[in-house]
Amino acid sequence: MESSLVKALASLPHGPEFRFIDRLLSLDQGKHGVGEYLVRGDEPFLRGHFPGQPLMPGVLLVEAAAQLAGTVAQSDPEIAPLPGLRLTALRAVKILGSARPGEVIRLEAQVTGRLGNLVQVRASASIGGTVVLEAELTLSGSNTRATEQNAQRTS
């Protein structure tokens, strides 16, 4: 699955230093995915959040979920990838916990709908079976040609 992860992550605009997916456990292309991120403890953001008691910031849990959502959305074999895919809206976000160094965050993302250049996703994160994040995300791309092609395929 590692080569699938490399290929899937290549469709995201993030550099390696800002990726929050280490492993892709499953991928139902364009529909659903499960991934993991190990909070190593050496990430720069942990030095200030919080000194002596490092916690992964909740907004980065959302970012990790959005990255998996983008990976799932961009992997659909029947729909052209959306260049410039970005997180553009958040709904019903609940941050119920956080991760400490050494913990593995399990991420899940389910595409729930598409309309043109918009992708709706339900996402969650858990640690050791305990849910720490639930969210509804909207991603959008910027290429109008791909948007027109996708609208024709999904209508």
Cross-strand partners of 27: 33
Catalytic, 49? Answer: yes
Q: 91: closest CA among 125, 120, 126, 132?
A: 120
Residue 143 buriedness (CB in 10 A; 0-12 / 13-18 / 19+): middle
Cα angle: 71, vertex 78, 121; to 5 degrees: 40
Phi, psi of 141 (to 5 degrees): -105, 175
Q: Which of 49, 101, 110, 136 is catalytic?
A: 49
Q: 133: closest CA among 109, 102, 103?
A: 109
Compute how many other C-beta atoms are within 10 angstroms of the C-beta atom of residue 90. Answer: 14
Residue pointed to by tokens 């605009």: 13
Q: Give catalytic residues, as residue numbers.
A: 49
